[in-house]
Amino acid sequence: MTPQERARMNARAAKGLVNLVLAQSAMLLIAALASWLVAGGYAALSALAGGLIYLIPSSFAALHMLVKIYSQANAGALTFFWTQALKIGGTLALLALVVRFAGTYLVWPALLVGLVVVLKGYVLLLVLNKLR
> Tell me: the pLDDT tens digits for 1-23?
788 887 888 888 888 889 989 98
pLDDT single digits (tens) 88-132: 999 999 999 999 999 899 999 999 999 999 998 878 778 877 655
Confirm whether 56 is domain-assigned.
yes
Rounded-to-integer distance, Cα 86 and Cα 77, Å: 14
Question: Domain limits at 33?
Answer: 3-127
pLDDT single digits (tens) 19-66: 989 989 999 999 999 999 999 999 999 999 999 999 999 999 999 888
Confirm whether 54 is domain-assigned.
yes
Give how many domains the chain has, as a whole number: 1
Confirm whether 96 is domain-assigned.
yes
pLDDT at position 77 over 90: no
Confirm whether 98 is domain-assigned.
yes
pTM for the predicted model, two decimal places? 0.86
Average pLDDT of 80-91?
Answer: 90
Confirm whether 132 is domain-assigned.
no
Residue 48: per-residue pLDDT? 97
Residue 51: per-residue pLDDT? 96
Q: Specify whether the CB–CB gap between 55 and 24 falls below 8 A.
A: yes
Confirm whether 13 is domain-assigned.
yes
